[in-house]
Amino acid sequence: MENEVKNFYKDFMQATQKMAPAIPETVKQFMGLVEGTLKPGALDTKQKEFIALGIAVAQHCVPCIYLHVQKSVMAGATRLEIMEAASVAVFMGGGPAFTHIMEVVKALDALDAA
């Protein structure tokens, strides 16, 4: 399971780099949106990543889950904080969101997050 997630992180960056020449404005604009939205403001980056993670779980977006777990860890979140943030999505997303908590665990394990 951990290798699946580690491979995703590596492959995602390579795929993004391959995609960029074909649709440079889309990639540039989307990355700008992500960076601008996640900059600290009234909410800090970690809090914003928790929101993004909750939405990813509720929407069943496995790549989004992996990316926002990684970004949460990079923002200083602990494993327990990430699991609690992801569990809030179950309240809104029900059973399908609950089944996607395992993707959060897989990403945390792949990142060796404490």
Q: Which domains, from first to last, does the chain contain?
A: 1-14+47-114 (1.20.1290.10)
Q: How is 77-93 classified by DSSP, letter by letter? A: --HHHHHHHHHHHHHHH
Q: What is the dihedral of CA 85, 89, 90, 91, to 10 degrees?
A: 100
pLDDT in tens, 71-108: 999 999 999 999 999 999 988 888 888 888 999 999 99
Q: How is 12-59 classified by DSSP, letter by letter? A: HHHHHHHHTTTSHHHHHHHHHHHHHHHS-SSS-HHHHHHHHHHHHHHH
pLDDT in tens, 39-78: 999 999 999 999 999 999 999 999 999 999 999 999 999 9
Q: Which of 111, 87, 108 is nearest to 99 (CA)?
A: 87
pLDDT of residue 93: 85
pLDDT of residue 1: 62
Question: What is this structure's pTM?
Answer: 0.86
